[in-house]
């Protein structure tokens, strides 16, 4: 009789452990999804700024066709990127193309002084800051989630239950180390 | 302690605090009823309940009034709003908190609100005038961390209930002074018990509230360092706050626990003068130990000299 009770007790404990563990993984996965949509919003916003920017530069420097094409190509690459890794890559590509565009703009003082151009430039900087902020959060959530499904005992059941590892938002060859956690400082 | 644990423990503590305060409230109302008249006790209880509900609904503007924070045109402080937006995105807040400005030369900041979606951050003009962008961001991240960790939830509830307790004690004390002679159950012991009770109640409320505050400052510092991935910025900001000796003009015991740096440390201005003893119960751990914790976690040593970068307020045209 005693053994039965112990068995029931152990079964209940195991069940509780499984329920809490599963819920934790679901929560971590949802945080990753939220984190990704934060990045996505900002990437979209960045891509939306590009046509206006190209137009305003084109008005002064119509002959710099190569640069405009480069920027437009980088923009559509960003919009078509499917995974976080390739989106990060495409985003870097767009940054590189924009450097050229702004180098062209340097040569036109009137353009540089125009209200519209200044506003676009400011918005673009703001978006870039926000992308890097959203990236910090997203990478931290990915880190927590991946650790969650790579640790015993979850590593044994995570895949069959549909928990797959997620990609960091970082371009290949990007050497910035993933987040350092200070949570243990308390 | 991880963040999730902290959030859970904050929710649990909030429940405990609420029940603790309700108990204290009933006790106090009972005391009022016992010392004078049952009906007075009931009236006090109903008054407190109404005030409590009202305060919960209006908590945003009540805290704003206590701290003299005013809403400003978002366009006028756009660069500041941008910093707050970036920090909230990095912290993963569902919505960027509003920013309110406190006209005060002392550098300080606080966060208030029950839910992350309805929270706001108050910063003093002094903070904007002294902090360069990097350190200002750290202070904002500290406040955003308070919101994310649900510290503001707990602190706001504690603030409201402490106010309610003070109100009841006030009613009791006044009745004691003005109508003590008419007390029906006169006995001198009852009278002494009542006086002691009314005097101690605000202390009890205060103590309950302080028990909430200190460890979460360390956690908010650590969270801020994590949000920005820059523990040194937070430490530098704290050092700058420490070196600054401007005192916040309306340091008030009732809101001391909200600010990033304890505003009452350097003065003994206390509510009603009765509470001069509260310096024993500091709302914040000493800044030095907060800096030390960051240095240890981040593995760096803070240089003696602070960077002399432009204060952020210059960009806003405040300096």
Phi and psi at residue B311, in whole multiples of 5°?
-65, 150
Judged by a CB distance cut-off of 8 A, whether residue B145 touches chain A is no
Give the global pTM. 0.76
Shortest Cα distance from A183 to chain B (angstroms)?
6
Please give the residue of chain A at the shortest CA–CA distance from B89: A134
The mean per-residue pLDDT over the stretch A81-99 comes to 90
CB contact under 8 A, B222 and A137: no
Which of B75, B81, B88, B89 should be substituted to probe chain A, the one whose Cβ sees the most A Cβ atoms within 10 Å? B89
Over residues B162-200, the pLDDT tens digits come to 777 777 777 777 776 666 545 555 566 667 767 777 777
CB contact under 8 A, A136 and B1: no
DSSP A182: -
Annotated catalytic residue within B135, B137, B143, B217: B143
Q: Chain B partners of A134 at a C-beta cutoff of 8 Å?
A: 89-90
Is A147 exposed, middle or buried, given 0-12, 13-18 or 19+ CB atoms closer than 10 A? exposed
Judged by a CB distance cut-off of 8 A, whether residue B78 touches chain A is no
CB contact under 8 A, B82 and A126: yes
Of A38, A179, A185, the CB nearest to B229: A179
Q: Where are the beta strands (DSSP E) in A22-64?
A: none
CB contact under 8 A, B227 and A31: no
Over residues A136-163, the pLDDT tens digits come to 999 989 998 999 899 888 888 888 888 8
CB contact under 8 A, A185 and B293: yes
**Number of folded domains in chain B?**
1
Q: Is the ipTM of this complex over 0.95?
A: no
Domain-embedded: residue B261: yes
CA atoms of A87 and A38, how far apart (whole Å): 13
pLDDT of residue A185: 38
Judged by a CB distance cut-off of 8 A, whether residue B225 touches chain A is yes
Judged by a CB distance cut-off of 8 A, whether residue B226 touches chain A is yes
CB contact under 8 A, A185 and B89: no
More confident residue, B270 or B121: B121
Domain-embedded: residue B236: yes
Over residues B229-251, the pLDDT tens digits come to 888 899 999 988 888 766 665 55
Please give the residue of chain B at the shortest CA–CA distance from A177: B229
Which tokens in the block code for residue B122? 């108050």
Q: Chain B partners of A42 at a C-beta cutoff of 8 Å?
A: 89
pLDDT of residue A111: 85
Of A137, A182, A184, the CB nearest to B231: A182
CA atoms of B229 and A23, how far apart (whole Å): 28
Domain-embedded: residue B42: yes
CA A174 → CA A33, A117, A170, A177, B264, distances in Å?
A: 22, 31, 6, 8, 47
Q: Chain B partners of A137 at a C-beta cutoff of 8 Å?
A: 89-92
pLDDT of residue A4: 92
pLDDT of residue B207: 60
CA atoms of B83 and A50, how far apart (whole Å): 23
CB contact under 8 A, B86 and A181: no
Domain-embedded: residue B257: yes
Shortest Cα distance from A87 to chain B (angstroms)?
18
Domains of chain A are 30-178 (1.20.1440.20)
The mean per-residue pLDDT over the stretch B204-223 comes to 70
CB-CB neighbours of B165 under 10 Å: 24
Shortest Cα distance from A1 to chain B (angstroms)?
38
Of A42, A141, A186, the CB nearest to B1: A186
Q: Chain A partners of B219 at a C-beta cutoff of 8 Å?
A: 186
Ramachandran region, residue B46 (left: φ > 0; alpha: ψ -120 to 50; beta: rest) = alpha
The mean per-residue pLDDT over the stretch B12-22 comes to 75
pLDDT of residue B280: 41
Domain-embedded: residue B174: yes
Give Cβ neighbours of residue B133 (< 8 Å, ≥ 6 apart).
Answer: B83, B309, B312
The mean per-residue pLDDT over the stretch B127-144 comes to 92
The mean per-residue pLDDT over the stretch B91-105 comes to 88
CA atoms of A132 and A114, how far apart (whole Å): 28
Domain enclosing residue B58, as ranges: 3-314
Domain-embedded: residue B13: yes
Active site residue B232: no
CA atoms of A166 and B3, how far apart (whole Å): 21
Shortest Cα distance from A34 to chain B (angstroms)?
8
Is A59 exposed, middle or buried, given 0-12, 13-18 or 19+ CB atoms closer than 10 A? middle
Of B89, B221, B298, the CB nearest to A137: B89
Do residues B318 and B129 touch, judged by C-beta distance below 8 A? yes
Mean pLDDT of chain B: 75
Task: Provide the pairing of β-strand B120-124 with B98-102.
Answer: parallel
Domain-embedded: residue B289: yes
3-state SS, residue B68 = coil
Q: What residues of chain A have any CB closer than 8 angstroms to a CB in chain B?
A: 31, 34-35, 38, 42, 126, 129-130, 133-134, 136-137, 140-141, 179-186
Domain-embedded: residue B319: no
Q: In terms of Cα–Cα distance, which of A156, A28, A132 is closest to B89?
A: A132
Which of A122, A133, A144 should be substituted to probe chain B, the one whose Cβ sees the most B Cβ atoms within 10 Å? A133
Q: In terms of Cα–Cα distance, which of A107, A99, A111 is closest to A74?
A: A99
């Amino acid at each position: 009789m005693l053994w039965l009770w112990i068995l029931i007790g152990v079964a209940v404990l195991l069940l509780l452990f499984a329920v809490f563990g599963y819920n934790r993984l679901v929560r971590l996965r949802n945080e990753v999804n939220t984190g990704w949509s934060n990045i996505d919003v900002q990437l979209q916003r960045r891509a939306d700024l590009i046509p206006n920017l190209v137009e305003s530069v084109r008005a002064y420097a119509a002959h710099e066709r190569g640069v405009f094409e480069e920027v437009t190509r980088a923009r559509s690459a960003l919009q078509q990127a499917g995974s976080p890794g390739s989106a990060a890559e495409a985003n870097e590509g767009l940054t590189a193309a924009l450097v050229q565009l702004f180098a062209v703009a340097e040569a036109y003082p009137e353009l540089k002084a125009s209200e519209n151009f200044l506003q676009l430039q400011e918005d673009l900087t703001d978006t870039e800051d926000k992308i890097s902020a959203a990236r910090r959060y997203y990478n931290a959530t990915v880190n927590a989630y991946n650790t969650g499904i790579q640790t015993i005992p979850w590593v044994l059941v995570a895949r069959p239950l549909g928990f797959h590892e997620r990609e960091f938002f970082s371009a290949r060859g990007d050497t910035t180390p993933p987040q350092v956690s200070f949570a243990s400082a308390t | 302690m991880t963040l999730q644990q902290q959030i859970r423990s904050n929710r649990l503590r909030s429940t405990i605090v609420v029940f603790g305060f309700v108990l204290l409230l009933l006790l106090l109302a009972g005391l009022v009823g016992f010392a004078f008249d049952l009906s007075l006790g009931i009236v006090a209880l109903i008054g407190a309940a109404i005030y409590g509900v009202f305060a919960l609904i209006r908590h945003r503007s009540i805290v704003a009034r206590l701290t003299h924070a005013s809403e400003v045109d978002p366009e006028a402080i756009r660069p500041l709003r941008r910093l707050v937006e970036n920090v909230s995105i990095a912290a993963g807040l569902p919505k960027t908190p509003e920013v309110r400005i406190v006209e005060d030369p002392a550098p300080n900041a606080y966060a208030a609100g029950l839910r992350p979606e309805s929270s706001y951050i108050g910063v003093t003009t002094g903070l904007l005038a002294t902090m360069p962008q990097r350190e200002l961001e750290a202070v904002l991240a500290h406040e955003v961390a308070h919101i994310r960790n649900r510290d503001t939830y707990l602190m706001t509830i504690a603030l409201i209930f402490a106010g309610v307790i003070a109100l009841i004690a006030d009613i009791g004390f006044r009745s004691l002074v003005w109508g003590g002679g008419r007390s029906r159950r006169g006995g001198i012991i009852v009278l002494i018990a009542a006086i002691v009770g009314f005097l101690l109640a605000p202390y009890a409320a205060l103590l309950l509230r302080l028990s909430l505050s200190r460890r979460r400052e360390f956690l908010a510092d650590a969270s801020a360092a994590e949000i920005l991935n820059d523990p040194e910025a937070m430490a530098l900001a704290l050092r700058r706050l420490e070196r600054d000796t401007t005192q916040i003009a309306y340091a008030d015991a009732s809101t001391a626990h909200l600010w990033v740096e304890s505003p009452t440390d350097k003065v003994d201005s206390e509510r009603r003068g009765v509470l001069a003893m509260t310096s024993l119960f500091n709302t914040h751990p000493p800044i030095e130990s907060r800096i030390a914790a960051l240095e240890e976690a981040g593995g760096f040593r803070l240089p003696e000299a602070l960077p002399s970068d432009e204060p952020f307020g210059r960009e806003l045209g405040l300096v």
